[in-house]
Structure 1
């Protein structure tokens, strides 16, 4: 069963909290990983790896650069879980 975008957002917020110490309430779809949440490239790799494990998806390295906002990541994961 596919996860809802809200469930993905919640899971992603927990991951970002663990990796970067960002409060889960600050992780919103419109937030930019780099500009708003101060997630650097190394932390982003950790977020991606954790998201891949948590959601059972594969996020290729060439796609990571396209994930500018939390919403981009939620959409990508939602689409990847549907097609998986």
Structure 2
């Protein structure tokens, strides 16, 4: 969640929760979501394939994906 707190497109950090949907709750568009996925890749030193990235639309999905990656750090 810290990653999103520092993301300049998230204007209302009070809406951040484990279940926040990037578009519905945080008002991010598809390009913003791509930026979030890229930031996740950089932060955790992982590469997220496009098919998998397309399924990441919320904080809990992002966290679950990261936790499922043994190389994430």
Given the two structures, how large is their TM-score scaled by the length of structure 2?
0.79
Q: Name the residue aligned to 1:71.
A: 60
1:43 to 5, 25, 32: 32
Partner deviation per Cα, 1:3-24 (whole Å, 9 max, x = no partner):
xxxxxx33x323xx42413344
Given the two structures, how large is their TM-score scaled by the length of structure 1?
0.70
Matched, 1:13 2:25: no
Which structure has more relative contact order (CA 8 Å, sep 6+)? It is 1
Matched, 1:34 2:29: no
Are the equivalent residues in 2 in contact too, given 1:29–1:72 (CA < 8 A)? no
Give, in whole Å, the separation in 1 of the partners of 2:11 and 2:51.
25
- Deviating above 6 A after TM superposition, structure 1's stretches of 4 or more consecutive aligned residues are none
Q: How many positions carry a matched residue from both structures?
A: 71
The structure richer in helix per residue is 1
SS in 1 for 2:28: coil
Are the equivalent residues in 2 in contact too, given 1:52–1:58 (CA < 8 A)? yes
